[in-house]
Chain A
Amino acid sequence: SQQGEEDPQALSIQEGENATMNCSYKTSINNLQWYRQNSGRGLVHLILIRSNEREKHSGRLRVTLDTSKKSSSLLITASRAADTASYFCATAHGNQFYFGTGTSLTVIP
């Protein structure tokens, strides 16, 4: 399967702490995107990083991409209880789209 794998599967932190989740994938990609999903709801796009970029910031989010290791990380700084959700990486390879298995983040108030 070319599906990405997120690590860890589940993460529980205190409010105010930083949360880091990782994504590994198997094939060359056009871009990598991170999405967030609240329980039972649709996915919300967070950030996109192109294959020729190494780091990108958006508010409290920082994404890195290492194409040599086929991996990406999402850092959420100063976490809030409202950040509790599942986070997925998604890769575009040609016309195919692959979502990872997701990291379930719980931020404890």
Chain B
Amino acid sequence: DSGVTQTPKHLITATGQRVTLRCSPRSGDLSVYWYQQSLDQGLQFLIQYYNGEERAKGNILERFSAQQFPDLHSELNLSSLELGDSALYFCASSPLAGGVTDTQYFGPGTRLTVL
């Protein structure tokens, strides 16, 4: 158990809908990262937040947004969902801002199925 929690575990929804994924980082970790893992694209880095502020942006679509709250939990919002958004979404946390020795600890993931 990494100490990172994600809810929900599974999510099934329809195209065009909007969903929110939630992540609670390990106690004391200040950074939260979001990743998307699909069969054809592999593991893609979406976005990082550090202590409430956006720190780095990867391949995140404009239909997706995220935020980190004062208690350091984070939410990933996915809107206007398409079939291709079906994937495993992972959250990870790390103690620092992503420096040379900063290790990421992954949550169990949320499996999103868009029908």
Where the two chains meet, the residues of A that have a C-beta atom closer than 8 Å to any C-beta of B are 3, 30-31, 33, 35, 40-45, 48, 50-51, 88, 90, 92, 94-102
The residue in A45, A88, A100 that gathers the most chain B C-beta atoms within 10 A of its C-beta is A45
The answer to whether B55 has its CB under 8 Å from any CB of chain A is yes
Contact, CB under 8 Å: A92 / B109:
no
Q: Known: A88-B43, A102-B42. Contact between A42 and B98, CB under 8 A?
A: no
Contact, CB under 8 Å: A41 / B108:
yes
Over the window 87-115 of chain B, the binary record of Cβ atoms lying under 8 Å from chain A Cβ atoms (1 yes, 0 no) is 01010100000111111111111010000
The answer to whether B2 has its CB under 8 Å from any CB of chain A is yes
- CB-CB under 8 A from A35, the residues of chain B are 106
CA distance A99 to B44 in the complex (A): 7
* Main secondary structure on A side of the interface with B: strand
Contact, CB under 8 Å: A31 / B101:
yes
CA distance A79 to B93 in the complex (A): 29
- CB-CB under 8 A from B102, the residues of chain A are 92
Subset of 22 A-B contacts with CB under 8 Å: A33-B103, A35-B106, A40-B88, A41-B109, A42-B2, A42-B107, A42-B108, A42-B109, A43-B43, A43-B92, A43-B104, A45-B103, A45-B104, A48-B101, A88-B43, A92-B102, A94-B56, A95-B56, A95-B98, A97-B33, A100-B42, A101-B42
